[in-house]
């Protein structure tokens, strides 16, 4: 697509279901995005989806970073105490440290629809569950990760409030113009 605008063209066909999805997403954003010309609508929708995907990846990366903090401490402890583990005299603490390297996958399906916990709640629960494993430096890193996510979440809430207010103002302007 390097030649677009330099003699090459693209024909874009959007089925009605996708067009409705694009309109719905852009109406959520407010700010008059839904009134853009056709190709710009698609680009805006793709950009919004890209940002959502990046956010999900960022959240997962932060959880992985936190897991690495206590896994690193557990690995150091296991390397120091491997003789106890190999001789089947492993303490419960050592066995717990080995279990940190396993990730349980839950395939149960809930009978009702629940709001998923926020990434900060998930990370807080994980930190609380594994707080005794990380050293002081690791604890500091975990608290920094949690603070960064909380700040990001707070910024998102402010932006949502702003967008909701802007959308409300836009709707009021539309009503006044129609009257």
Q: How confident is the model at residue 151 (pLDDT cuts 50, 70, 90)?
A: confident
**What pLDDT, on a 0 to 100 scale, did the predictor assign at position 10?**
78
Is-contact 101 71, C-beta < 8 A? Answer: yes
pLDDT digit string, tens, across residues 79-100? 888 777 666 555 777 778 888 8
Q: How confident is the model at residue 73 (pLDDT cuts 50, 70, 90)?
A: confident
Give start and end residues of each alpha helix (H) in the chain: 16-29, 38-80, 82-86, 92-99, 119-129, 136-178
Q: What is the value of pTM for the model shown? A: 0.67
The CA distance from 75 to 149, in Å, is: 26
Look at residue 4 and give its three-state secondary structure. Answer: strand
The CA distance from 69 to 67, in Å, is: 5
The CA distance from 55 to 53, in Å, is: 5
**What pLDDT, on a 0 to 100 scale, did the predictor assign at position 53?**
92
Q: What is the dihedral of CA 50, 54, 60, 62, to 10 degrees?
A: -170
**What pLDDT, on a 0 to 100 scale, did the predictor assign at position 165?**
59
Strand partners, 8: 4
More confident residue, 1 or 24: 24
**What pLDDT, on a 0 to 100 scale, did the predictor assign at position 27?**
82
């Amino acid at each position: 697509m390097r030649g677009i605008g330099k003699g090459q063209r693209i024909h874009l066909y959007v089925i009605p279901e996708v067009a409705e999805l694009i309109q719905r997403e852009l109406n959520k954003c407010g700010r008059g995005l839904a009134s853009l010309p056709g190709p710009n609508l698609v680009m805006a929708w793709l950009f919004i989806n890209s940002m959502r995907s990046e956010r999900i990846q960022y959240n997962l990366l932060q959880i992985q970073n936190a897991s690495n903090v206590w896994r690193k401490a557990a690995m150091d402890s296991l390397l120091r105490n491997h003789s106890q583990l190999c001789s089947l005299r492993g303490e419960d603490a050592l066995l717990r440290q080995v279990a940190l390297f396993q990730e349980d996958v839950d395939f149960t399906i809930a009978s009702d629809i629940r709001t998923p916990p926020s990434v900060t709640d998930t990370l807080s629960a994980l930190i609380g569950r594994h707080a005794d494993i990380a050293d002081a430096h690791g604890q500091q890193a975990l608290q920094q990760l949690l603070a960064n996510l909380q700040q990001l979440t707070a910024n998102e809430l402010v932006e949502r409030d702003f967008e909701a207010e802007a959308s409300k103002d836009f709707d009021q302007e539309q009503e006044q113009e129609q009257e």
